[in-house]
Homo-oligomer: A and B are copies of this chain.
Amino acid sequence: MPQGQPSVVPDDGLTTRQRRNRPLVFVHTGPGKGKSTAAFGLALRAWNQGWPIGVFQFVKSAKWKVGEENALRTLGASGEGGSVDWFKMGEGWSWVQRDRQFSNEEAAREGWEQVKRDLAAERYKLYVLDEFAYPLHWGWVDTDEVISVLRDRPGNQHVVITGRNAPAALVGFADLVTEMTKVKHPMDAGQKGQRGIEW
């Protein structure tokens, strides 16, 4: 946990308080575990501050992240802390007509369009764009446009983007980037994922 004095004081015309409350873009990338998990952990702090939270899951999964989803939904409904909205790609983009079939690529683009609308409306104070690095890496969503939208977003909205292959331009733009490196994983030793640990 970083504390104390920053290593440099920038000549940006901002007061310490203005700089402190600057909205941030986080990127959690790299081949190791914990990218999404740390994003949901961050959401716990946001919830504790009473912030409205929007989670957008950009990669379809058989197991999704039911543990984190149930926990954050329970917190959002607890009557304390902030609210939690949780959207799953394809099956879960609630604004997409249920009777239409979308490709994964279309669904990812639809998701990003919704994030843009929410940013413009300042709907949330923390956005978790889970696995969003993948559609960027695959070119389904344009990284330059994402950077432009994030740079110009109004108000005080924090955005966390997770996923293995975050584009270099996004890493260059983000305020805080952590790379999770795999040192050792039990699947290397022949173990499959287990309930409560992997999902």
Interface residues of A (CB under 8 A from B): 1-3, 6-10, 12, 16, 19-22, 24, 27-28, 30, 32-34, 36-42, 44-49, 51, 61-63, 65-68, 70-72, 74-75, 78, 80-81, 125-126, 158, 171, 174-199
Q: Are A184 and B190 in contact (CB under 8 A)?
A: no
Indicate the member of A1, A51, A66, A185 with the most B CB atoms within 10 Å: A1
Q: Are A196 and B38 in contact (CB under 8 A)?
A: no
Distance to closest chain B CB from A41 (angstroms): 3
Residues of the B chain whose Cβ atoms lie less than 8 Å from the Cβ of A187:
2, 6-7
* Given known A-B contacts A49-B196, A179-B183, A6 and B191 have beta carbons under 8 A apart: yes
Q: Are B16 and A192 in contact (CB under 8 A)?
A: yes
A44 to B39, CA, bound (A): 12
Closest to A175 in B: B186
Q: Are A199 and B45 in contact (CB under 8 A)?
A: yes
Q: Are A1 and B45 in contact (CB under 8 A)?
A: no
Q: Are B1 and A198 in contact (CB under 8 A)?
A: yes
What are 18 contact pairs spanning A and B, CB under 8 A? A1-B36, A1-B65, A9-B190, A10-B189, A20-B193, A30-B181, A34-B34, A34-B178, A44-B71, A46-B196, A47-B67, A49-B67, A49-B195, A70-B81, A78-B78, A171-B183, A178-B180, A178-B181
Q: Are A74 and B67 in contact (CB under 8 A)?
A: no
Closest to A2 in B: B187
Distance to closest chain B CB from A127 (angstroms): 13
Q: Are A184 and B174 in contact (CB under 8 A)?
A: yes
Distance to closest chain B CB from A128 (angstroms): 11
Q: Are B193 and A183 in contact (CB under 8 A)?
A: no
Residues of the B chain whose Cβ atoms lie less than 8 Å from the Cβ of A38:
33-34, 37-38, 41
